[in-house]
Structure 1
């Protein structure tokens, strides 16, 4: 299977999950809007979801796969099974202890880490009749957090099983498993709409849905692992050299691979000082996660094993080629997506969310944040391209330092900009920190002689930018032409039709220019077409 096909396998499965995630967010926005229950759910879910993104989307794999692959090659399947059992047993024990401790001390966690803004919340007598009191907001955030926290344990164990599957080049099960969460929450929201449940009831039902979905995802990848002919036994935890080596690699890898999510988590914690800001950030996060997930996750999951194998075999030219083509692929898809999301965020947000409890005034706020997030989209994907260049060489120290610098910059910028621009300031801080991180990672590889940019990459990158600029001009022209159908008073079918026409026209312009100018690798496309025709 070619590198591009592997990207397509993981990216396609992730795309399915993101599409259903869109549906879930649309239904949630309609049911809860940006009210206190939506804020409480998003705050409570962000903490375990942070670990899902850190582990399940490549960071744990960055540490686990090279060590597991080495055990498999040097000691055979029995040695790999023993190594996996050591890691799984320790992971299970630690997660059990952490979960119990978190359930006990959850009020302190919410007050100091998850939502510090709720600890200093002051009730407004004018609006209190229409919203929950500060005490109630804090209470339901604690309750939701307690229900959902075991999801963290499920996702961490799922990450290890997914790493085993990826090491065996079986990517689909781990990529498609997150769809279970979306199915569960869509089902719950449909029931809540039918039963006309109150917002608080919906929040509690969704929290339980997250927990049960986590168990379901873990079962799916476990079954896939057994179908691959591999199993892991639970044993008494022991401190071994293999475990020590994994911890040395996994800590920095989790920090590095999850910098985008860490930045978002920090942003939401700061946003908890303003009612509604957390939900605004969450709703804006979903549209740009679609291209980020489809491209970034696919590259992060597939690139590391391919790069590690090439380096282990001493095929340096192949490693350089893999790195450059991955960067080329990332830019080819993310630059036009960033341009589109930056230019037309409001029509997109209006079509997706504006109904029920999601009011027109909220659309403008979410669209402004989405436009700023879009500017950082290429950077967030590039981080996933550059990081494997370090991980495959078992170097986590350099990218860890870079990530800490970026995270520090994000926190400082968020604190400063939030007081001037509210949630827009947090989005801008996240974008700036993302570009700083990507640039520092690339510079580190280039200065060490580990990344040599070839002429094809430079040429195609410049052509991608030019093609995307032309596409942006076409989008602006289409917006003026279709303005009556994009008006807030237009019907949903009219808005949807207008956006579909705009996107279709933009895609035609971009891909036509990309193929005519050579921004896309025409030889690669022709080769793939011939393979498909023979199939």
Structure 2
């Protein structure tokens, strides 16, 4: 089951990221790295943050256990969904009226004329927030039936719609291209929702919603009969959701804060961070997030059944798998940083200077790949013991450490200081999660001489092979 779920998640993530890189290649070629690309990245930053936070486990880790134990699952699901939709709808309407204020908060360093250009784009993109919640809500319900492929593959539709929007508007001026790209985001969100309809119908959720909808008036009319259990279910969900929201989103929140800080630097800085972070996120999602998503139900069930040894064994397997694969990515990525960025982005409006700056940012991001990835596994121990609050506390400490270091390093090192601070925050998070498990449990996970020796010998060998390949390619060029 673990291998099947992992392969489903990782293959879907890989397909989505392939289309994501095609999208970024089109954006780099058509928009380049300048004021207009920065405007879009600022506008898309908040909805994209929520897409990653919701999609990478925060909602699922809190809703799914509550849904399982809910006595009236249909009413519970509609109630939670209705609360979130109402709040996000109201928030989106507020943004429509106060988009200049929100834009100023997102990019405080932008001059007033650029804020004026960005505000309508922020207003359009913000509606994706509502769409991405609906996507995550439907996807979580399907995971209850062990259906993972829809959640894994649906993001590809967002990237396809954005690519089509870029290509359709490529001959227009750059501001019009940004508008087309923003509407492409909304079309992608609608397409993601539609993809869920057939599996929801097949597994009986539309029927569940139908009966629950007509049962709602009777349910609330006789609320005194259900009040205690229903309030307990809702309280349990929200008590887990808010800490999980912070606890599972450290990397995304750091990237969000980095964008705000980078708005005080020269135009293009936000774009360098975005393009580099996009590649950094590929191995993190492909290996760490896919593994933790598949592993979480197994660890949680083992701990619930007092089978701690089984949980530690599963986590040990995941730890060494991630350690080896992520270290391979770090070594290869740092050696080939210039070639990777050049191959993916250097064309059209994206020049060689942009490539070199993005490559250096990418290399510093990679230093945090292993700690961020392993933290995804270690944090499952806290979630399985219902210690979401402690996980949130550790994430907040990591976030503050990374932000403070960014503020210290931004003046002498610019975007490079921001990227290094992100990796430092990941190391802090890893240390705190390892400490929370306890020395004995942590050493049970890492105590594997065989895989330690394989990793020790494999990494230098990889470095020699990759560097030799780089020299060989440069000789031909």
Q: TM-score range by the shorter chain?
A: over 0.9
Q: 2:160 aligns with which of 177, 183, 201?
A: 183
The runs of at least 4 consecutive aligned structure 1 residues that moved more than 4 Å come to: 233-239, 449-452
Aligned counterparts, 1:349-360, within 5 A:
349-360=341-352
Please say if residues 300 and 384 of structure 1, whose CA atoms lie closer than 8 Å, have aligned partners that are also in contact. yes
- Contact 1:336–1:468 under 8 Å retained in 2: yes
1:479 equivalent among 467, 470, 476: 470
- How many angstroms does 1:245 deviate by? 1.6
Give the Å deviation of 1:365.
0.2
> What residue is the counterpart of 1:156 in the other structure?
133
CA distance in 2, matches of 1:456, 1:229: 45
For residues 438 and 456 of structure 1, the distance between their equivalents in structure 2, rounded to whole angstroms, comes to: 17
Asked whether the 8 Å contact 1:59–1:257 carries over to 2, the reply is yes
**What is the TM-score of this pair, normalised by structure 1?**
0.82
Instruction: Classify 1:433/1:462 alpha carbon distance in 2 versus 1 (closer, same or farther; 3 Å).
Output: farther
Q: 2:102 aligns with which of 93, 104, 109?
A: 109
The unaligned stretches of length 5 or more in structure 1 are 122-133, 491-535
User: Do the aligned partners of 1:65 and 1:305 also contact (CA within 8 Å) in 2?
Assistant: no
The CA deviation string for residues 233-283 of structure 1, in whole angstroms up to 9 with x for no partner, is 566899822222211111110111111000000001100112110001011
Report matched runs for 1:62-461 at 5 Å.
62-71=61-70, 75=71, 79-112=72-105, 114-118=106-110, 121=111, 134-135=112-113, 137-193=114-170, 196-231=171-206, 232=209, 240-274=231-265, 275-447=267-439, 451=442, 453-454=444-445, 457-461=448-452
When the two structures are aligned, how many residues end up with a matched partner?
Answer: 460
Sort the Cα spacing of 1:391 and 1:474 in 2 relative to 1 into closer, same or farther, 3 A: same
Q: Given that residues 167 and 305 in structure 1 are in contact (C-alpha distance below 8 angstroms), is that contact kept between their aligned partners in structure 2? A: no
Alpha-carbon shift at residue 142 of structure 1 (Å):
1.2
Gap change, CA 1:458 and 1:217, over 3 Å in 2? farther
Shift of 1:81: 2.3
Contact 1:389 1:450 (C-alpha < 8 Å) held by counterparts: no
Separation in 1 of the partners of 2:144 and 2:73?
Answer: 11
* Structure 1 residues 116-157: Cα deviation after superposition (integer angstroms, max 9, x where no partner): 111xx3xxxxxxxxxxxx50x212221111001011111122
Q: CA RMSD in A?
A: 1.9
C-alpha distance 328-70 of structure 1, shift in aligned 2 (>3 A)? farther
The CA distance in 1 between the partners of 2:329 and 2:435, in whole Å, is 25
For 2:434 and 2:197, how far apart are their aligned partners in 1? 36
What do the CA deviations read for 1:200-254 (whole angstroms, capped 9, x no partner)?
Answer: 1110000001012112212223442232222335668998222222111111101
Contiguous gaps of at least 5 residues in structure 2:
221-226
